Structure 1
Amino acid sequence: MKLSALFLLHLLCCFQAFTQTNFNTLTDKGYQELADGKSAAAKQTLEQALKVVPEDLDLEPKADFFNNLGVAYYQTGDYKKGLHAYERSLDAYRKLNNDSLVAGALLNLGLAYKEIGAFKQATSVITKAARLSEKYGNRKELSAAWNAIGNIQRETGNYEKALEYHWRALHIRKSIGYDKGTADSYHNIGTVYLEWKRYDQAGKYLLEALKRKKVLSNQSNTVNTLSALGRLYVAKLQPEKALIYLNSAYEMRAEMGNSAKAASSIYYLGTYYASTGDRSKALELFRQAQEMARSSSDHLLLADALLGEINVLKTSKGNDPLLEKYQELVETREKGVNDANRKEMARLEIEYDVERKEREIDLRRKQAKLDGIRIENQTLRNQRLIGWIIGLSLLACLVSAMFYQIRRRKKYIEVQNRELEEQRDEITHLHQELSHRTKNYFGLLGGILKSDKLQVTHPEATKVLEENIRRLEAMSLVQKYLLDDSTHQNKEIRLDTYLTHVIDTVVLNLFPGRNKLKLLCEIDAIYLDYDIAMRLAIALNELICNAIEHGLLQSGTPELGVSIKRSENGLELIVKDNGPGITEQQMQAQSVKGQGLIVKLLHKMNGTIRYSNNNGCVATVHIDI
């Protein structure tokens, strides 16, 4: 029995040792493949290592492993997995309680967010790294964080903010004597000015960066500034200076054997020779740039180099190479678009995850708050349990008394409601009776005026009586529709029904040849208050009288248009005829018949009137309702 247990223990130890050895072998191979630029192979190798990660692996190598795995995922376009790996690396560093490593991991995670365009998350994470570095006095990492945020601001086109952060980084690097970082900050400030098209400031800072980098003898760092200076002088239309810097960058990158970085210098050189008309040299450089871009899977640079070659080939005879290049350009751009789509998809997924996590955190906080309240309530109930038991009898008596009072109050309210209902019915009946009597009074008064009209022989007196009769009929119609239309509880008038009868009544009484008149009415189904409707009817009566008397009686083909529409700020009434129109003197003197009455009516309704000519007189009334 003891031998079996010892054998199993030995077997387990051997398995753990094998797993550890296999993991170390795979990680060493994967790290080397990353260093050699073999991203796809490194990803495959490190994914195999992920399957055999020892459970007792120390936190620091575990964090390093996930960091390198994230690099492999990013370089192969698997951005979401890359971010997940970076987050696991950050978790491992946090468990080490080493704030310097945590700040570095936060910075790497922020740069990963920046790579896919998730600038908001990138800025947030890098700012956390900066605050952590500032808290523990790591000024070098603090400057790196400000530098990264400056680059984010530059990529988003916020050049003033970019300069602000790069100046922060430069000030820190100068103060701690960090020469390489100082040179990089000068380069970054110059690059911001270059993209901002402020070429004089760009040249000043890029030349200062170049001078400092040459002192450091760092070719890898110097070549970027040489390329930037070449681009600067191309933009300033100084090709001779541009050629000097671009050639220097190209030669230095060629010596370093860095084909990925050399490709951009070769492309800019090709652009220069193409602009000078040296077709053969331009084609040679464009094709070299294409080969290097293919090897580094730089689709954007490859597309630029192909387009440069196509532009040169357009001037030569023959279409076969040109067609092939066009086809390759299309394929390259599709790859670039696919890569951009993957980045965008990863960015959107990350934004969704961040939002979901924030919601979960918020829900947890709310749940914790509710749990705390629940616990407090439970404690309070327990503390008061004895008091509830002692006061139970008193509470029963109190409840009985309250129930009795509620029943009495309910009966009292029911009696009050019945009385209010009876009073409301009585008021409604009185309102209807009042409307009926008012209608009768209007009819009686109208009959008296009509009787007087038959006895009067003076034309002017007859005319005045006719005007007053029409006004009374307009007011009488309001009372009629108050009695007939119960849909709005005898409080409002429906304009289209009411005013149509007013118009017909006025036209019938004033226009002798009713069949010859072309009447156009456009009235919306609008409900208005009783007083406003009556005033509007009287005003409309006056306007139609004016239109018939001064316009339509003089027209061979009389036309009368009445429009009442709801506008943004109220109600608009338009009365238009095709008569001779209104003179400028009449408009200024306000001598239109009935103008005084119309103005008084409209004044009480916050209304206005204006006259104009448009193949006849047009009266426009606006009322605020």
Structure 2
Amino acid sequence: MNDYRNMGNLSMQKTDWANADKFYKNSLEINNKTNNQYEISEDHRNRGNLYLQKEDWGLCEKLSLQALKIAEEIKDLRNVCHDSRILGKVYAEKKSRNKQEEYYKKALEASVELKDEVGQQVDHRNLGELCLGRGYKDRSENHFKASLEISLRTADKKEIATDYRHMGNLSFNNGNRTEAEKYYRDALNLTLEVGDKNGTAQDYTYIGNLKFKDGNVDEAEESFDKAIDFFKESNNKAGLLQLLMTVARMELLLSRKEQSEKYLDQAKIICKELGDPEDLVKNIKEIEKVKDTVDQNR
């Protein structure tokens, strides 16, 4: 690693994008002179990650493809996995589902060749979520079950809970509410056991959503309130804010203005703590507009 790349990494830590890009380009110039393919690939990769952070999907795609091409040529399977997963994310943002699946599959093939079970879980879950979203339920189930098999074999309770959560989502999507709740509660028991507060918050969120869909509003609210407490304990403000705004909207669907305000007021506080990001402020204002039109005596 040369000094330019070090300076680029330091600039990235400071979110100084312009200088980071400049230093990574300087590093690339040096490595081009020596024709060090591994280092050239790494420079493209670093610039790709930079544009991933900036959400410039076009440049991220171009640079990640360049990095991946070299990684494949020099049989650098670790980075074939990395670059393919990044490209999967890029194509998810670009709504190019076929390409998204293509690169997630490429990552899985490389992680299988590496005998990297942790990587295989990542890839199976990515493909499972993608297939579920596209309505390919059988393929989704195969991927989720493959990940679960690895978790059970390694006896990692946190990972088992993650896979139960995915299986619960699949069951819910299939209309099997009873099976879905069992998976969610099995996941919940494990996250409580291992002290995974963020995972516990997710499990209570899923149970709350299920109860709400079934019309058990009081039980749903009880689960949501528990989820909120665990999101707070885990200091996951993004997850907490998303949940608060979602529940505020759900309460309005039932014309429950006061209950909606309870969650929306908490969302406003967190939004302010985050510096009132424009997109979040806009979302809160949209919820308030709907709230003002609701007749809670309906």
- TM-score category of the 2 structures, normalised to the smaller one: 0.7 to 0.9
Cα distance in 2 between the residues matched to 1:68 and 1:22: 12
Change (3 A) 1:280 1:71: farther
**Residue 131 of structure 2, aligned match among 133, 153, 158:** 153
Residue aligning to 2:112: 134
8 Å CA contact retained: 2:201, 2:230: yes
Residue aligning to 1:53: 27
Residue aligning to 2:220: 242
Gaps of 5+ in 1: 1-16, 34-40, 317-625
8 Å CA contact retained: 1:170, 1:182: yes
Which aligned pairs between 1:527-566 and structure 2 lie closer than 5 A? none
Residue aligning to 1:27: 9
The letter for the 1-side match of 2:291 is V
8 Å CA contact retained: 1:42, 1:72: no
RMSD of Structure 2 on Structure 1 (CA) = 3.3
Aligned-residue offset at 1:266: 0.9
Residue aligning to 1:261: 239
Aligned-residue offset at 1:187: 0.8
Is 1:104 the equivalent of 2:86? no
What is the count of residue pairs matched by the alignment? 289
Change (3 A) 1:48 1:255: farther
Which aligned pairs between 1:315-354 and structure 2 lie closer than 5 A? 315=294
Deviation per CA, 1:92-137, whole angstroms, max 9, x where unpaired? 5446633233233323322332232211112122222222322342
Is 1:204 the equivalent of 2:182? yes
**Structure whose CA Rg is larger:** 1
Change (3 A) 1:94 1:235: same
Residue aligning to 1:356: none
Is 1:312 the equivalent of 2:291? yes
Residue aligning to 1:84: 62
Aligned-residue offset at 1:280: 4.5
Q: Which TM-score applies when normalising by structure 1?
A: 0.41
Cα distance in 2 between the residues matched to 1:203 and 1:111: 29
Aligned-residue offset at 1:203: 0.9
Q: Which TM-score applies when normalising by structure 2?
A: 0.80
8 Å CA contact retained: 2:252, 2:260: yes
Q: Secondary structure in 1 aligned to 2:215?
A: coil
8 Å CA contact retained: 2:204, 2:224: yes
Aligned-residue offset at 1:64: 5.6
The letter for the 2-side match of 1:180 is K
Cα distance in 2 between the residues matched to 1:164 and 1:138: 18
Cα distance in 2 between the residues matched to 1:64 and 1:214: 40
**Residue 122 of structure 2, aligned match among 144, 165, 184:** 144
Which structure is richer in relative contact order (CA contacts within 8 A, separation 6 or more)?
Answer: 2
Change (3 A) 1:157 1:177: same
Residue aligning to 2:208: 230
Is 1:116 the equivalent of 2:94? yes
Identity %: 15
Q: Secondary structure in 2 aligned to 1:52?
A: helix
8 Å CA contact retained: 1:66, 1:88: yes
Deviation per CA, 1:426-483, whole angstroms, max 9, x where unpaired? xxxxxxxxxxxxxxxxxxxxxxxxxxxxxxxxxxxxxxxxxxxxxxxxxxxxxxxxxx
